[in-house]
Amino acid sequence: MTLLSINPANGHTIAEYKTHSQEKVDQLIADARTAFEDWRQVSLTDRSRVLSRAAEILKTNRESYALLMTREMGKPLSQSLGEIDKCADACRFYADKATEFLAPDMVMTEAPESFVCYEPLGVVLAVMPWNFPFWQVFRFAAPGLMAGNAGLLKHASNVSGCALAIENIFREAGLPDGLFSTLLIKSQDVERVIEHKSVSAVTLTGSGAAGASVASTAGKALKKSVLELGGSDAYVVLADADLDLAARICAKSRMNNNGQTCIAAKRLIVESGVKEEFEQKLLRQLENYQPGDPEQEQTNQGPMARTDLRDELHSQVEKSIAAGARCLLGGKVPDGPGSYYPATLLTDVDESMPAFHEELFGPVASVIAASDEEDAISKANNSEFGLGAAVFTSDIDRGRHIAAHRLEAGTCVVNDFVRSDPRLPFGGIKQSGYGRELSHFGIREFVNIKTVYSG
């Protein structure tokens, strides 16, 4: 069997990768476990040298890695370059901060000495998606490796080139042989890997269905799992907001990565008194995005990653329009090769439509009217998802209160767009998953939080 890498800009096959046999997978798992036993004894100082070297390799070869990413999944080249830089930053961050994050915590008890220490778990399987093919992996790998774990990567099949490139980065950086390997397998083979006795835990970024399957398998095997799943982020625009700012940020968030990000501004919930004015400003912002060749520097919107994903998105748009939504921009599948879909703006969206309840994973913004602040917050929280959310208001204290205490999501921001940052924890609630990545919370997800006391 083979895994195909297809350029979504033109439909041409880039490469074919032969899947690993069951025997090869077993050998890679065994190698990871053997390498882990040595790596866990390596000092944090020496581990940090490897991560720092990985950051250098990323920066030195950023253009070639970015081009590979763009060709495999269609991200505009400028955004691919930014993604590589972000991966390098994450490596440096954990190289610098792991000693602090993993330092034992002394606790006063009746015993002469009591403390909590953080020991690595073992081999962690990462099941990663195609939309941020480098960042999603480094988001898991940088803290996981610094914590002393081994890593196995099952990447999305359409970005196998990126997966192998990342494996080579760590090898070139000095990671011991076998400690981080790519498994070229199909999705149906993941269950067996999770169940393997030498695999200690699993992390997944992906769809709710994939998350439920992985969580079920991990639960049956009594193994730790972390899930970062879908999102239908609500951006609440209150009547006192700076509408120019809100429109600019909502458009940028919605169109980032060709609209294919879990934390994009998807449901724009606007107080009725400013809805029409906001729509016109947002429309002008979205008109600036024109699909083009993602390898060209000036292109700000590339194709979607696959044609089937484009067609699924278009179906959601058509169903929403049939239910009463109005399309102010886009909404038509263009002629020609590639998986392109235009920037699309839907308005008069309500709870009866896919554009309200489902995740629209592509360049489609949905405007939803709210009678007042309470109605806006209620509609924002009326979702099975809880990954990110935002509120726009000129009253910063009001905005902070809403973000901190009223919106139901893992990350909430005021007058800005949701993003991940190595310094801050990232993850969701409800059907958007559980557990946290990044910051000191992320590095402690796959460790044994061990209590030690001496009498």
Q: Does domain 234-414 have CATH number 3.90.1150.10?
A: no
Question: Residue 426 above 90 pLDDT?
Answer: yes
Residue 283 has, within 13 A of its CA and on its CB side, a CA count of: 12
How confident is the model over 163-195, as pLDDT tens digits?
999 999 999 999 999 999 999 999 999 999 999
What pLDDT was estimated at residue 25?
A: 98
Pair of tokens at residue 143: 């803290």
Which band of pLDDT confidence, cut at 50, 70 and 90, is reported for residue 161? very high
Q: Which pLDDT does position 97 carry in this prediction?
A: 98
Q: What is the pLDDT of residue 342?
A: 98
Residue 352 — pLDDT band, cuts 50, 70, 90? very high
pLDDT in tens, 290-313: 999 999 999 999 999 999 999 999
Delimit the CATH 3.40.605.10 region(s) of the chain: 2-229+432-454
- Residue 455 pLDDT exceeds 90: no
Domain spanning 2-229+432-454, CATH class: alpha beta
Q: Is the pLDDT of residue 282 over 90?
A: yes
Sequence-separated (6 or more) residues with CB below 8 Å from residue 11:
307, 337, 338, 339
Region 146-152: mean pLDDT is 98
Cα angle 57, 60, 65 (rounded to 5 degrees) comes to: 80
- Look at residue 401 in the predicted model and tell me its pLDDT: 98
Chain region(s) in the chain for CATH 3.40.309.10: 234-414
Write out the catalytic residue numbers. Answer: 228, 262
Mean pLDDT for the stretch of residues 136-145: 98
pLDDT band at 288 (very low <50, low <70, confident <90, very high): very high
Say if residue 196 is exposed, middle or buried (CB neighbours under 10 Å; 0-12, 13-18, 19+). Answer: middle
Q: Quick: pLDDT tens for 190-229.
A: 999 999 999 999 999 999 999 999 999 999 999 999 999 9
Judged against a pLDDT cut of 90, whether residue 111 lies above it is answered with yes
Q: What is the mean pLDDT of the chain?
A: 98
**With 0-12 CB in 10 A as exposed, 13-18 as middle and 19+ as buried, what is 338?**
buried
